[in-house]
Amino acid sequence: MDLRPMVRCGILSALSLVLMAADFPIPFLFPEYLKYDFSELPALLAAVGMGPGWGLVVEVVKNLLYLALGLSSAGWIGVLANLLAGSTLVLVTGWTASRLGLARWDAGEPSPLAVWWHRGSLAVA
């Protein structure tokens, strides 16, 4: 088994944990236990870049570490809810990207997703 995806997964999981710890509540609209964080971004990067399975691994590792370190104010039920919502987002996005041919590009070649973004920015300009 190749070590490179596992190392990427570990780095993205650690980054996701740091981003999850830096959450903030949404004022005036929702109860205080509902908080927003940017921790899904590394899992989405893993799902689009390496496949939906690796995105799911990043999501599971992030939530297990968050629960094990005792950082959750909502306890295990909050972590479970985050895991279910995040896993759904990551799996659907990763599956869609793989079906459209946007995932699993080779190193040294431009990402198809980056090419789409570039073409879109040129079309807007």
pLDDT tens digits for 82-92? 899 999 999 99
Q: Report the predicted TM-score, pTM, of the whole model to 2 decimal places.
A: 0.75
Q: Specify the CATH number of the domain 3-124.
A: 1.10.1760.20
What is the secondary structure of 9-62 as a DSSP string?
HHHHHHHHHHHHHS-EE-TTTS-TT-EE-STHHHHHHHHHHH-HHHHHHHHHHH
Task: Give per-residue pLDDT as tens, 35-94.
Answer: 778 888 899 889 888 889 999 999 999 999 888 888 777 778 888 988 999 999 999 988
Q: What is the DSSP letter of 105?
A: P
